[in-house]
Amino acid sequence: MAPPRARHDLLVAFHATENTRRVPWFGVSMSLASSMTARLMETWAHGQDIADALAIERQPTTRIRHICHLGVQTRAFSYALRGMEAPTEPVEIVLTAPDGSEWHWGQGGGPNSVSGSAWDFSLVVTQRRNIADTGLIVTGRVAGEWMSIAQAFAGAPGAGRAMAER
User: Is the pTM here over 0.75, yes or no?
Assistant: yes
Per the rule left: phi > 0, alpha: psi between -120 and 50, beta: everything else, 150 is beta
* Percentage with pLDDT > 70 across the chain: 94
Residue-wise pLDDT tens digits, 103-114:
999 988 899 999
State the pLDDT at residue 109. 86
Distance, CA of 159 to CA of 121 (rounded, Å): 17
Does 161 score more than 60 pLDDT?
Answer: yes
Beta strands 92-96 and 113-117, pairing class: parallel
Asked whether 69 and 34 are in contact (CB, 8 A), the reply is no
Alpha-carbon separation of residue 35 from 2, 42, 83, 95, 128 (angstroms): 24, 11, 23, 23, 20
Does 1 score more than 60 pLDDT?
Answer: no
Among 7-11, 118-122, 150-154, the minimum mean pLDDT is found in 7-11
